[in-house]
Amino acid sequence: MATWFLYLVLIVALAFIGFAAWVRFAPSDPAVWHVDPVTAPTPSSPNAARVERLVALPVDQVVTYIETRARAEGATLLAGDIRFGTWIARTALMRYPDYVSIRLTAEGEGTRIVALSRARFGYSDRGVNAARLGRWLPQAAP
């Protein structure tokens, strides 16, 4: 009886390790994950966040602001560029990939930011994507 229990524990442990490795190293296809946040529908699942705001900063300053924060958190650019691109950010514990698509456009003296952050795996991100956008994006103009 104890032998079967040990085999079961080993199988479960190997399945967990295999899943964790697959999540960590699964390829990210830019054709699937790089979207225009202006036209992309917000996923109906609770593991996505969308922000649209106008900030009183020129586009170049917003680019620097976002890039500094994204890279400080270990994010990498999957496709596009910083003015219109998609970043891969990973969750802290399991390293699940989240995709953050951002479009910046000059509007008057400021910049319009439209961003969509969504998780690839899971059913609820517990507010991680919304919090990330809060950290990465400058606040709206007064």
Domain extent listing, the chain: 29-136
pLDDT by position in tens, the chain (length 142): 678 888 888 899 899 888 877 777 788 899 999 999 999 987 777 788 999 999 999 999 999 999 999 999 999 999 999 999 999 998 877 788 999 999 999 999 999 999 999 988 777 778 889 999 999 999 876 5
81 burial type by CB count under 10 A (0-12 exposed, 13-18 middle, 19+ buried): exposed
pTM: 0.84
Tell me which CATH homologous superfamily contains domain 29-136.
START domain (3.30.530.20)
